[in-house]
């Protein structure tokens, strides 16, 4: 049994995740939308990602997935690219089954994307995959917004 007390939440989970998403989006802007560069050269953000609670990381992964649910998914060979494509596919299916529901419901209710997002978010041994997945998803969301999709 541990004597550590749980951290008191200073802001709501959703707000913390969206705030961190803005920081990643800023890194993407600094690197002209290049997810690989933003992921590699934003060491301070990567360290903060590791310090986030897993629930915040999961929420952010789902939040970042929502805008790319209806875009064509480009496959890739890395685990992060595969996770990003899988999350987007699950989001597409969930949106079809839940017409009229928005991103807030997608981020907070259990569904098929919840499991892989949780797996990524709670894996403390390989945070690089979850970090890179989040950056990839937010980069794609940014391109989707620019394209007006």
Give the confidence band of 10 by pLDDT, cuts at 50, 70, 90: low
- For the entire predicted model, the pTM comes to 0.86
Residue 148 confidence (pLDDT) above 60: no
Distance CA 82, CA 60 (A): 17
Distance CA 80, CA 40 (A): 13
Distance CA 81, CA 20 (A): 20
Residue pLDDT, tens place only, 42-101: 878 999 999 999 999 999 999 999 999 987 666 678 999 999 999 999 999 999 999 999
The candidate with the shortest Cα–Cα distance to 68, out of 131, 149, 129, is 149
């Amino acid at each position: 049994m541990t004597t550590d007390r749980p951290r008191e939440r200073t802001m709501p989970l959703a707000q913390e995740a969206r705030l961190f998403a803005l920081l990643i989006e800023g890194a993407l802007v600094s690197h002209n939308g290049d997810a690989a560069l933003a992921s590699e050269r934003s060491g301070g953000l990567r360290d903060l990602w590791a310090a986030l609670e897993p629930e915040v990381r999961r929420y952010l992964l789902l939040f970042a997935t929502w805008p790319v649910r209806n875009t064509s998914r480009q496959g890739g060979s890395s685990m992060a690219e595969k996770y990003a494509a899988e999350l987007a596919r699950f989001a597409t299916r969930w949106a079809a089954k839940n017409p009229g529901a928005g991103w807030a419901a997608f981020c907070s209710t259990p569904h098929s994307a919840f499991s892989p997002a949780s797996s990524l978010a709670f894996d403390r041994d390989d945070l690089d995959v979850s970090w890179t997945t989040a950056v990839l998803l937010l980069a794609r969301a940014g391109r989707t917004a620019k394209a007006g999709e």
